[in-house]
Structure formats: structure tokens, C-alpha cells
Structure 1
Amino acid sequence: MTNADLSITQIENTYLIRCGHANWVLVEEGSELTLIDGGYPHNGADVERSIEQIGRRLEDVRAVLVTHAHVDHIGGIANILTRHQVPVLMDPLEVAHAKREYLHQLSPVKVPLLLWRRGAPRWLFDVIRAGALDGAELPQAQGFTDGAALDVPGRIVPVPTHGHTDGHSAYLIPNAGVIASGDALVTGHATSSLAGPQFLVCPFNHDRAATDTALDNISAAPADVLLPGHGPVYRGPMTTAVEQARAGRTSMRP
């Protein structure tokens, strides 16, 4: 468990949890939950704590969805799966990444591209303490069928947003009018000077052009609340969020 406080924002049946430099999402249906992402390896106990704070138990989680297999999104999942086994679903293109057959992740050689940014040295110190160097993998990873509502609590619909990684997926929670965007579209990050909808800075995106194109699917989503992989909740039209991110896209450059 990290020492970071939990910040929980509820929108209908959906919760955005912010903990240090990581976000995850919980979706309720009756007494059952779907967990979307799970923070760094040392966030496993924090994920369980967030579940308890909304009045549920870890055993109420019936499925886990993964936006993408970076360590700050799957580390806590790998941790809690040692205590509670559930299906772990993601875009079929992301399965091999989650199983660590390959790795699309910021490498040590690219870290110097970030260190000139205000906030980056502290961010690096914090995420190492959260287990960023420990690594994580999900051998249980399974691919879902594109375009169909998933048979999980919340009847969540995948939204393809390939680019940040080859199999990145956002998730639409239809009853709440919410989209969980992972790292395809964020609203803040310790390495960025911007506030509001934005791309992650350049070294974090595997394919920058595809990351930009992927925002068309978010723009078209029937949602008016964005729950990002980093940063606070955004409320407003997705078209406006995407326009703002593209207007500030120069922040992606090293």
C-alpha cells in the first residue's frame, strides 16, 4: 500500500479513484463491481481500500477491464489477483502486451527526455516508490469481442483507442454517460504544465499519430463525463475535450 490519500468522485454508478500518480475506476451494478485498471504494483491494497470506501468488498469484483498494460495500470491488478481471481479482459491486441510477450513502455533510455520538465524528478521518485521498477504482468489476460457490450457489471462497451499502446481501449459506461479514457486522453500529469484534456507528453506514447487519430472515437462517444487515467474528472462534451487536447498537442514533443 502507498501512503497517498484516496480521492473518490462518484458519477451515477461509476467512481473515479485517484491515488498518488495513478487512477482507476469502479463500476457498480447491484452489489457487483467491475474494476477498470489498478495503478502501480504497490497500489493493490489501495484498490481494495477504495472498494471498501464505497461500501463493497474485494469479493464483489466480478471482472477486471484493462485500458492498456503499462505498469501504472496493471500493477495493482496483478497484486489483488493473488487474493481474488476474476476474469481480466482487454482489447485482443493488448493481450500479448499484458502477458509480457513484448513491452511498449517508457524505457530507461528515454527517461532523460522527461527530466527537464518541471515535476518530472519528483514524479520519477514517487513512481519508483510505488513499484514502477518492479514490473507486472497478467498471464490471465483475455481478449474481448470488439464493439459489443461486455457481460460484466455495468454492461461496459469498449471504445478502441489504439496508439498509446497498440491495443489501448477506452470504456463507455452507458448508464452513467461516462467514458474511462485510460491514457488516450488525460486531464493532467506531473510531467505536464497543462491543465484539462490533453495528450500525455511525447515519450509516453508508442505511436503519436495513432494516439491523435484515436481521439475521434472518444469524440463520438455518447458521454459527457471523462474519467482519465491521469488527472481529475472532466465534465463537458467529448468534442470539446478532444479539441482542447489537439490544440495543446505541442506538449507531446520532447
Structure 2
Amino acid sequence: MTVRQLVADLYEIPLGHTSAYLWNEANNLTLVDTGVPGSSTAIAAALESLGHTKADLQHVFLTHWHVDHAGAAAELAEWENTELHAHSLDADVLEGKTPQVLPGLPSEEQALFDSLPDEVKQDTPTVAVDDRLEGGESFEIAGILDVYHMPGHTPGSISLHLTDPNVLLVGDTVANVGPDGPSAGVFNTDPQRLRESVKALARLWPAVLCPGHGEPITQNTADRLNALAGSLD
């Protein structure tokens, strides 16, 4: 596993099928997404490679409840100082109050889902959410971290905007896995709301976009995201 620096203090942690992102701010670390169950070992190794321990991890934000993004949240919740943040609509799923139900998929997406490894089809282990978000919150992290409710992939999907480096962390609202550049996410509960969320993200004109799947976008980012948004009309 190679931890990759994207901008000053922001690192990508590859976790196989997906990526987590770490904001390395002195001894106050913030992680976005956690990978599948068992990924806490790789995350701990990533922290150690940057000169930190598990006790330095303060905040864990979950972009949505799916197992490839929240599967190790229960493991990280056992660490000494972590506070878990998720949107209230997905927090109910994470806490086991709402069933983990995947949407019905069009045939081409069902074929893609069927081809995925079993580790991303298992249930997400239940975990207590410390901070239920609604969207519109701001945290004094990386200057200012703004929370945006971006439903569509799941009802409680969120994106995070690090305003000073102008970085967007988008979970599965946008992916970057194909030859044609960024695309709208798949396996969505509400495809129309997903398209509206992509358009809303484009209006933020990010310098860097960090998707859950695929390479982070660091060049011509805003133009490429706006081109995607325009193609969804």
C-alpha cells in the first residue's frame, strides 16, 4: 500500500476497491471513508507511515453507508479518540435502525454489480454515529470543511469541501473509473437526485476532486466536472 499526497496535508489511502482520504493536520487527523471490514489495519499502517498513531485520528466522516465506504467504521470507533460523522438519513442504516437495502438496478448496472468481489456485497457492520449531520455544517478542519447533503446514491450521501485547498471529496456521487473521465455514480437509490447533486457539486468549481472510486482529478478539475454536469441535462 502506498499513501499518496495530493495537496499539502491531504493524502489518498488506497484500500483495494475504494480509497479513503486523510487530512494530516498536526496531531488532529481527519479521515473520509473507511473501506470494507478489516481495513482498519491498512489505515493504521498509513497513519504510522506519516508519523502518527491511532490516537491521533480525531474525525471520521462517512460519505454514505455502503460497506466499501463504511465497512471499517465500527473498527475505527473502537480507537481512542475518534468521532464518527454521518448524515442522519444514512446514520439510521449504520446504526441498524433502517434495513440495508440496495436499490433495484437497470440491467447493465446489475451485471456490473454481479461482477464485483464478495467483500463489497456484504452487510456493513452496525456502528453508533456520534454526530448526525444534516448538510450545511462547517468544521474548523483544513481551514474550513463544509458539509453538503448530496442525495441520490443513498438518501444520506454527503460531499465534503475543504475550502482553503478547494478540494471536493465526493464519495460515490462522482466516479473516475472509465476512459472518458469523471462520470456520475452508479447503483443509485434515486438517479434523478444523483444527477442534481452532480450539478450542484460542479457549481463549487473545485481544484481537486477526490472520488471514492478511481483516480483523484487534479488537472482541469472544474472544467471536467462542469462538462459532466452539462452532459446530464
Alignment TM class, shorter chain as reference? 0.7 to 0.9
Letter in 1 for 2:181: G
1:79-102 deviation digits (Å, cap 9, x = unpaired):
222333521112233221221222
What root-mean-square deviation, in Å, do the aligned CA atoms of Structure 1 and Structure 2 show? 2.6
- Correspondence for 1:39 among 32, 35, 38: 35
1:171 corresponds to 2:160: yes
1:252 is matched with none
Partner of 2:185: 200
1:126-165 equivalences in 2 (<5 Å): 128=118, 130=119, 132-133=121-122, 135-144=124-133, 146-152=135-141, 155-165=144-154
Q: Report which stretch shifted further, 54-63 or 75-84.
A: 75-84
Deviation, 1:38, is 0.4
What whole-Å deviation, never above 9, does each CA across 1:97-149 have from its counterpart, x for those lacking one? Answer: 22122245537x869865645x963xx33xx2x47425322223421353231
Question: 2:201 & 2:88 partners in 1: Cα distance?
Answer: 19
Asked if structure 1 preserves the Cα contact closer than 8 Å seen for 2:175 and 2:183, the reply is: yes
Which residue does the alignment assign to 1:81?
Answer: 77
TM-score (norm 2): 0.86
> Contact 2:195/2:229 (CA < 8 Å) preserved in 1?
no
| 2:222 alignment partner in structure 1 | 238
Matched, 1:212 2:195: yes
Query: 8 Å contact 1:62–1:153 — kept in the other structure?
Result: no
Change (3 A) 1:132 1:47: farther
C-alpha contact 1:34 1:63 (8 A) present in aligned 2: yes
One-letter code aligned to 2:221: P
Aligned partners of 2:56 and 2:81 also within 8 Å: no
Alpha-carbon distance change, 134 to 104 in structure 1, aligned in 2, over 3 angstroms = closer
- After superposition, give the CA deviation of every residue in 1:196-225 in whole Å (9 maximum; x if it has no partner): 211233xx1111000000112211224210
Structure 2 gap segments, 5+ residues each: none
Tell me whether 9-18 or 171-180 shows the greater mean CA deviation.
9-18
Cα distance in 2 for residues equivalent to 1:220 and 1:16: 24
Q: Is the 8 A contact 1:149 1:156 kept in 2?
A: yes
Unpaired runs of at least 5, structure 1: 250-254
**Helix, strand or coil at the partner of 1:143:** strand
> Which structure shows the higher strand fraction?
2
SS in 2 for 1:197: strand
Aligned residues: 231
1:1-59, Cα deviation, whole Å (9 max, x unpaired): xxxx3452321221122221011111122221111110000211111112222222211
Amino acid at match of 1:223: P
State the match for 2:93 in structure 1: 97
1:58-73 pair list within 5 angstroms: 58-73=54-69
Task: Quote the Cα distance in structure 1 between the aligned partners of 2:5 and 2:102.
Answer: 29
Would the aligned equivalents of 1:9 and 1:17 in 2 still touch at CA under 8 Å? Answer: no
Q: Any idea what SS the aligned residue of 1:96 has?
A: helix
For 2:228, what is the secondary structure of its paired residue?
helix
What amino acid is aligned across from residue 196 of structure 1 in structure 2?
G
State the partner residue of 2:211: 228
